Structure 1
Amino acid sequence: MSQPEKSTGLRHTRIRPGYAAEEVEPFVEAVEGDLRSPEPRLGAGEVARKTFSPVVLRHGYRMDDVDDYLDRAEHLLRLREQGG
């Protein structure tokens, strides 16, 4: 699955520490779906509390990219929750 990289700009990593792709990809897909949905199922708080397993020498996503993505998604969901 490489959908998150195409839609979110998340970069892959194998050498540097990263977050496990098998955890990041389904969560990012759920967030992307909720951001497009008129009634999201995920709240900003859930996105803020989300953690992923770190990996090294395995397929993963760069930690800084994922953290930045989650910050942006949390902000957008919070605005939506506040009616903005």
Structure 2
Amino acid sequence: MLERPSFSTTSMREGYDTDEVDRAVDLIFDNLALPEPRFGADQITSLRFTPVRLQQGYDMGEVDSWLDLAAAETESRSADGAEPAQQPADAPPAPAEPAPISSAPSSSTAITEVKAGGAGLYVIVLGMIVILGVLAYVLLG
């Protein structure tokens, strides 16, 4: 059985946008709870997230590995008889790619909480270094 993930966060190297990943995890678990899933394993593996730099994001490797597990779980459940829902004949065809993850706030409490700080802290520290450098130049120069 697939468990809720707890991803490591990154701040100095590239990571995935935490809100997008949190919403995707919620959607995947909602989908797995349905008697007839709305999307399959191929749509999970094709998910793409916005990379973030100089702010906290989720470790890309951990997220990608968990998505592989989620896709395998979805595939396994489909193979056990819970085929994805068939659309009515008059319905428009389903998109080949999953819908983009919106930027609405996530209600997930199962994902690692990201602490505030991000790029703002780096700007403050850099500003203090510049001020100290100017003061040292004026006082010693």
- Structure showing greater Rg: 2
Alignment partner of 1:34 out of 31, 34, 38: 31
Q: Name the CA distance, whole Å, in 2 between partners of 1:13 and 1:32.
A: 24
Q: Name the CA distance, whole Å, in 1 between partners of 2:26 and 2:45.
A: 16
Q: Which structure is higher in helix share?
A: 1
> Is 2:63 the counterpart of 1:58?
no
Partner of 1:18 in structure 2?
Answer: 15
Corresponding letter in the other structure for 2:71: E
**Structure 2: segments with no counterpart, 5+ residues:** 82-141
**Structure 1: segments with no counterpart, 5+ residues:** 1-6
Corresponding letter in the other structure for 2:40: G
Corresponding letter in the other structure for 1:13: T
Q: Name the CA distance, whole Å, in 2 between partners of 1:60 and 1:31.
A: 19
Shift of 1:74: 0.3
Q: Name the CA distance, whole Å, in 1 between partners of 2:55 and 2:29.
A: 24
Structure-2-length-normalised TM-score: 0.50
Of structures 1 and 2, the one with the larger relative CO (CA 8 A, separation 6+) is 1
Q: How many residues align?
A: 78
Structure-1-length-normalised TM-score: 0.80
